[in-house]
Amino acid sequence: MSKISRMRCGGIASVAAVALMLILLVSSAVQGQVTTATLLGSVQDPSGAAIRGATVTVTNVQTGLVRTAVSGDNGEYAVDLLPVGDYAIRVEYTGFKTDERSPVTLQIGSRARVDFALQVGKISEKVEVTGAQPILDTDTSESGQVIERTRVTQLPLNGRQFIQLTLLTPGVVPEVKGTLSSPLSLSGGSVNANGARYEDNVYLLDGVSIRDEIYTRLTVSPSVDAIEEFKVHTSNYSAEFGGHGGAQINISTRSGTNSLHGVVYDFLRNDALDARNFFDPQRPPFRQNQFGASVGGPIIKNRTFFFGNYEGSRIFKGITLTSALPTDALRSGDFTGMGPIIDPMTGLPFPNDMIPAGRIVPFAQAYLNKIPHAMTAALGRNFAGFGNRNFDLNQFTARVDHSIRESDQIFGRFIFSNVNDTEPFPATVDPSGNPLSPPGFGQTTFQKSRNLAAGYTHIFSPNLLNEFRFGYSFLDVGQHSQNSNVDFVTQFGFMGTNPPPLGAGFPSIVIPGFSTLGDPTTQLFVGNNVFTFSDNMVKNFTRHSLKFGGSYKKSYVRTEFVFNSAGQFKFLGVFTQNPFADFLLGFPAVATALTGDPLLHGIGYGVGAYLQDDWRVTSRLTLNLGVRYDINSPFRERDNKFANFAPEIGGFVIAGSPGHINPAANPGRFPGVPFQTARELGYPDALTNGDYNNFAPRVGFAYSPFPTVAVRGGFGIFFDTGLSGGRFGILGFNPPFTGLGVALNFNPATPIPAQTLLVTPSFNAVLGQGPAKNFPNGYLEEWNLSVEKQLGSSFVVEAAYIGSRGIKLDGTLLPNQPTASAAPLSGRVQFPVLGVDLEIASAAFDSWYHGLILRGEKRYSHGLVFSGNYTFSKSLDTNGGSLSNFSDQSNGAPQFSGNIAAEKGRSSFDARHRFVFNAVYDLPFGRGKAYLNNYSGFADKVVSGWQLNTIIVMQSGRPVTATIPFDQSNTGANTDRPNLIGNPNSGPRTPNQWFNTGAFQLQPFGTFGNAGRGIINGPPYKTVDLGIAKITPVNERLGLEFRAEFFNLFNHTNFDLPDRQFNTPGFGQIFSANDPREIQFALKLRF
């Protein structure tokens, strides 16, 4: 290397170092944003010697974008930051024929290699090659899957949510039904990738986050007709990506081209052709209409392009719900055969086990008047209710791309989405994910989403490029009871609860063996305003491709979780020896209520920077070396209106300093509870310390021993960003600003409502929630090894192993939970004035994952594209996640918080076997095709243009954990599991008894059960979806497409998880199933 070259390299390295330091000082923890692709390769002469100085010209076929590069000393060239699409490549060098390749398709996030061997001749002579596509990845070590536009728009999707297509990726499984309720499920749910929790996923739309700061889900789900393609990165991805260790789902919206193109579409479904659900006595009414239009084209040819999309959804769905309701005999106080029923006033049994009508309190009668009657005289799921759900969506997407000159391109994109949803049976579920609330307690949800992205790409030289992105995301979500006009609190004279509107609606009633009555325990109003700035620079050397940069994020969140504001009452049979009798007489064992407004305004920021070096060591070996560093500040409250649990004082730490705390604080409402300020206890403003040790190295290799074989492997560390806005939001429940209080041991001489919730007869417990003072960020160590083989020109097969180890993962602990004992609870807790359900977020949990993947994929050729994969895996953990899962544990906490090791078991989303196949096939009939190609005119229109599309899924059952719905351990936590005395998976596997219920036994009072987590195998899942399309040209500009789509074609019954509550009538039974066969028709007019 010459002295001048060394000086240039040194100068660039110095600039890179300075830029990296500046980014570390001023930027925030947001992942890098790859929505483009890289084209690279080598230029050689006929002998295989490298050609230095060859000119490589790359032209986008759709937009006319032109980029150039020059081959280096070793003949290598690279063209970075190319928009996805089809390209023509031309290589020129004096003394050799010009070599052209077209079209070459570049996919999102890809590093596509196209090598050239020039032939001796005149430069005016051409060698043209068409149809050759790079399909073998020989330059990166990551694992992932690209879902290109053909599959995005043509595969059958029930609901047309793009997130469904991420499940085509090896190692990716759907989240478990029953995952903690989130209003953002309206955006399509979520997924788990290679053993990572769903809250560890990242969603990028045009390089800008659409991940909610509170629930960690999608804030908006773009229409599949607005998506060009997307990539699911699942393991050992570039250091450019960070913030979380789960899947990085990278989506690119469509842009305009030099030709005007568009589509108008309507997808229709109703119940007329649907099959009946296994548990429905009849088909409920159903109407679904998803409609919209897209248009894109040039504003200025080869310079400026536009694209727009509108999509609307109108869904009217009848829902059938099975509930466990009191029989008519029980409603009247007749407990014949269930006695003795003890009268709490006398301590003697009621005569004939009959409670006199005059003793049934008005409080209980109000609920009996609200709910329907049971349909049978038997206990258990004895009622089938019907209700109607109405769902409305309006979404607009607009994008403009402009090429200022060959070296400068900009774009802007805006998406607007409004959703309204009314549910007759809200997301109140039992531990198996089955809805419980009977009719009468509906819920309404609204969601407003806005997302803006803007980008600027500047090319300093063919080997030095820069990309800048700005993003803004807005989210406003509300969820409230349809009984919000009911003033139950005032009607019955409750004290210690919030008055309306916060305390409006029916209090929640929990009675073991029966459906939960009352309105949803949580009403909420949350929002995000998130600003992001990122900058990425690429510098190519002879053998090194350096990419470095960083990003800044500022987040403003608003949380108002109104939990149990009208009160929650648990009737456990403490007073009468029968839970329902306790209810009729008005004697709860536990009452919980929230006082005060938990509204918080959070502000968070951080720092993120990365350096990635893709080093082509030899023509066969590439090393991918990277490092990432993130700083993530915990959210602080804008007005210091929050507090956190402080174990060192057995009370709460208040934001601020003595004499300078928010005036809403009212410590006097909580006698006996210690309070001190953050300054006094040495706490930061956020009341929890940030983690500044998040160095995340990545190393990988891609080795190609033969032209058609690639061996890839790597190891990396992937940090989480720490506490979510949801964890911040729960700080709004803490004294002295709000009070989530518990009253125990009610006076049997005074039924409710004469007793107030927070004025206690004997033992009062104040609850609280929050993160530990020192809360390190959890991280995943991930590793992978794969062998990929190309067969022919368009087909590859792969065998891969992927493993991960989760360390310091977030989860819930109960620091005030005592050890199991038959002794009175009040004398055994560490903090007597605080409740056992006091929760802290703790980084004390772990996970383990091992997966074997077999994959085959055919790129589009001869009218056919398909892929299939089989995953054999095992996922273990000690906790289901910070947003815990109801199939795992009722409140996400361990059975005993003092023994986390005993919680190691199958993850709630563990699917031991999973097979997925998908295909889009343009049938070879008609003119220009292999068969029936002699027809013309009308006959040709009949036989041509047919297409078949399918998705096939087979998956083994998810794990289920048996739990006890009452406090057998006498710890006050209600996290108990029973004893295991047999094989639970030897059961008959029928809906009436899925597993062997006799394998469990109630342990002695005051002890923990020995049954492990996830030891029951749930029902498997199998489905075949099929689409048939007929595409008919109307004229040269117009085409008409008719589609018929069959979901669950063979009407296979896929049961939900069984009831897991031991010692209840429904234990081991299944009460719901996934959708039966459903048929959808669609019409599209293309132009």
Q: Write the pLDDT tens digit of every residue in 310-324.
A: 999 999 988 877 788
- Start-to-end CA distance of the chain, whole Å, equals 56
Q: What is the mean pLDDT of residues 3-25?
A: 39
pLDDT in tens, 934-961: 888 888 888 999 999 999 999 999 999 9
Of the candidate ranges 259-263, 292-296, 390-394, 888-892, the one whose mean pLDDT is the lowest: 888-892
Q: Confidence band (pLDDT; 50, 70, 90) for 431?
A: very low
Percent share of the chain, pLDDT over 70 = 90
Residue 105 is part of a domain; what is its CATH number? Answer: 2.60.40.1120
891 located within any domain = no
Residue whose C-alpha is closest to residue 106's, from 90, 84, 88: 84
757 located within any domain = no
Rounded CA separation 750/586 (Å): 9
73 located within any domain = yes
pLDDT in tens, 247-276: 999 999 999 999 999 999 999 999 998 999
Containing 998, the helix (H) or strand (E) segment is none
Q: Domain of residue 87: give its range.
A: 31-130
Q: What is the mean pLDDT of residues 83-91?
A: 93
Q: State the number of CA atoms in the 13 A half-sphere of 459 facing the CB.
A: 20
pLDDT in tens, 271-308: 998 999 998 888 889 999 999 999 999 999 999 999 99
Query: What region, left, alpha or beta, does residue 561 occupy, with left being phi > 0 and alpha being psi -120 to 50 degrees?
Result: beta
pLDDT in tens, 1002-1054: 999 999 999 999 999 999 999 999 999 999 998 888 999 999 999 999 999 99
Rounded CA separation 57/69 (Å): 7
834 located within any domain = no
Rounded CA separation 499/1073 (Å): 40
Rounded CA separation 450/220 (Å): 8
Helices (H), 315-373: 328-331, 362-370
Mean pLDDT of the chain: 87
Could you tell me the two tokens for 66? 């032109």
Domain count, the chain: 1
Q: CB–CB of 520/562 below 8 Å?
A: no
460 located within any domain = no
Angle ∠(1075,1078,1080) on CA atoms, nearest 5: 140
Q: What is the mean pLDDT of residues 571-592?
A: 88
pLDDT score for 882: 57
Q: What is the mean pLDDT of residues 838-856?
A: 94
User: Can you give the length of the chain in residues?
Assistant: 1087
Residue whose C-alpha is closest to residue 395's, from 267, 230, 223, 228: 223
pLDDT score for 795: 94
pLDDT score for 888: 43
Please report the DSSP string for 740-765 in residue order: EEEEES--TTS-TTTS-SSS-SSEEE
Q: What is the mean pLDDT of residues 327-356?
A: 91
Q: What is the mean pLDDT of residues 966-983?
A: 92
Residue whose C-alpha is closest to residue 705's, from 783, 616, 618, 791: 618
pLDDT at residue 773 is higher than 50? yes
953 located within any domain = no
Residues sharing a CB contact under 8 Å with residue 493, sequence separation 6 or more, in sequence order: 753
Residue whose C-alpha is closest to residue 518's, from 671, 364, 398, 406: 364
Q: What is the mean pLDDT of residues 792-796?
A: 91
Rounded CA separation 948/877 (Å): 41
Residues sharing a CB contact under 8 Å with residue 351, sequence separation 6 or more, in sequence order: none
Q: State the number of CA atoms in the 13 A half-sphere of 483 facing the CB.
A: 25
pLDDT in tens, 168-186: 999 999 987 644 445 555 5
Please report the DSSP string for 485-516 in residue order: T--HHHHTT--SSPPTTTT-SPPEEE-TTSPP
**Cis before residue 832, ω within 30 degrees of 0?**
no
pLDDT at residue 565 is higher than 50? yes
CA 667 to centroid of chain Cα atoms: 38
Pairing of strands 248-253, 202-205: parallel
pLDDT in tens, 718-764: 998 776 776 787 787 788 988 766 666 566 767 776 555 444 333 34
Cα Rg of the chain, angstroms: 31
Q: Is residue 938 packed enough to be buried (19+ CB in 10 Å), middle (13-18) or exposed (0-12)?
A: exposed
Rounded CA separation 133/411 (Å): 28
pLDDT in tens, 541-554: 999 999 999 999 99
289 located within any domain = no
Of the candidate ranges 348-352, 571-575, 627-631, 693-697, the one whose mean pLDDT is the lowest: 571-575
For 333, 487, 495, the CA distances from 584, given in Å and listed in that order, are 8, 21, 20
pLDDT in tens, 114-166: 999 999 888 878 788 776 677 888 889 999 999 999 999 999 999 899 999 99
Containing 7, the helix (H) or strand (E) segment is helix 3-26
Could you tell me the two tokens for 289? 């209409």
pLDDT score for 1084: 96
197 located within any domain = no
Could you tell me the two tokens for 822? 């038959």
Q: What is the mean pLDDT of residues 380-393?
A: 85
Could you tell me the two tokens for 1023? 């489905």
pLDDT score for 559: 86
Q: Confidence band (pLDDT; 50, 70, 90) for 332?
A: very high
Could you tell me the two tokens for 859? 């790129």
Q: Is residue 821 packed enough to be buried (19+ CB in 10 Å), middle (13-18) or exposed (0-12)?
A: middle
pLDDT score for 417: 95
